[in-house]
A = this chain, B = another copy of it.
């Protein structure tokens, strides 16, 4: 059994807890939280410890899965925890990945641990598919579309507008753009041509709805470059119809082969997810298995999904995989 610990207990931590409870080769040792452990109730009644005592558990845990946020938690937490544990995180600030990699690698190398960073679906499975597709079709063009799905960042941005009580924002790929890519037309697409944004907003009584709508649609970076639709609904409707956290998207590469580039090929990888955090958790669990196996082999250092052979993720043996899946 692979003994797993969870650091941080929000949506992602609960997703990991659930995934481990359904995994035959893993057991959850405990959840570590910065909150007072007595106030944290886990779904499976697994023990909750204070983050301050985590070092004392270093011999009880094979892999620690870090479930904090990329903005404030992971940049310091992952390298710090890599001193004591094999670590996995879902660090998703794309621009800062090289720096984060270097920090985690240093801690892992010095302490003989494995770290796997930026595990999830983007970064993660989408990144993998970009790499495979580029390696196979060097002469081609990449496309990534996100959605239909909830963007927490955009929902939060709307909530910060005066007069807004609650909000949910969906990112939606433009179907015509997707179809053009699928046909191998290699379109040049602007931001506006790739995605639309749909917002469901609960406004305070008496709030200026026109002003809220305008504030949303003109918000730089978040909405100004997109065609945005705003719907005002009641809190009851929001809670009833928009409680889920679906997401997904599509990675495509369109390329050509042949001495005169006469043959076109399209590679498409598509995810349709009811629960963004639960799917991310499921990817984290698979890479936790890989981290454990890599350390058993005597490896160390920081890795990403690019550096890990697929067989390490699956519970079955090499013989079984070749027989049943190849």
Q: Could you list which residues of chain A lie within 8 angstroms of chain B, going by C-beta atoms?
A: 15, 18-19, 21-23, 43, 94, 97-98, 101, 118, 123, 125, 127-132, 134-139, 182, 184, 257-259, 262-275, 278-279, 281-283, 286, 289, 304-311, 313-315, 318-319, 321-323, 325-326
- Chain B residues within 8 Å of A265, by CB: 271-275, 278-279, 282
Quick one: which of B282, B314, B322 contacts A101, CB cutoff 8 A? B322
- Known interface pairs A132-B125, A265-B272, A309-B308. Does A257 touch B18 (Cβ–Cβ under 8 Å)? yes
Q: Can you report 22 residue pairs joining A to B where beta carbons are below 8 Å apart?
A: A18-B257, A18-B258, A97-B323, A125-B132, A125-B267, A127-B325, A127-B326, A132-B310, A134-B314, A134-B325, A135-B315, A136-B282, A257-B275, A257-B281, A265-B273, A265-B279, A267-B271, A270-B270, A306-B322, A306-B325, A307-B310, A308-B309
Closest CB in chain B relative to A145 CB, distance in Å: 13
Rounded to whole angstroms, the CA-CA distance of A267 and B322 in the bound complex is: 21
Quick one: which of B118, B125, B270, B326 contacts A306, CB cutoff 8 A? B326
- Chain B residues within 8 Å of A286, by CB: 135-136
Closest CB in chain B relative to A291 CB, distance in Å: 13
Q: When the two chains form their complex, are residues A325 and B130 in contact, meaning their CB atoms are under 8 A apart?
A: yes
Rounded to whole angstroms, the CA-CA distance of A101 and B322 in the bound complex is: 9
Q: When the two chains form their complex, are residues B314 and A305 in contact, meaning their CB atoms are under 8 A apart?
A: no
Rounded to whole angstroms, the CA-CA distance of A266 and B15 in the bound complex is: 17
Q: When the two chains form their complex, are residues B21 and A259 in contact, meaning their CB atoms are under 8 A apart?
A: yes
Rounded to whole angstroms, the CA-CA distance of A284 and B275 in the bound complex is: 36
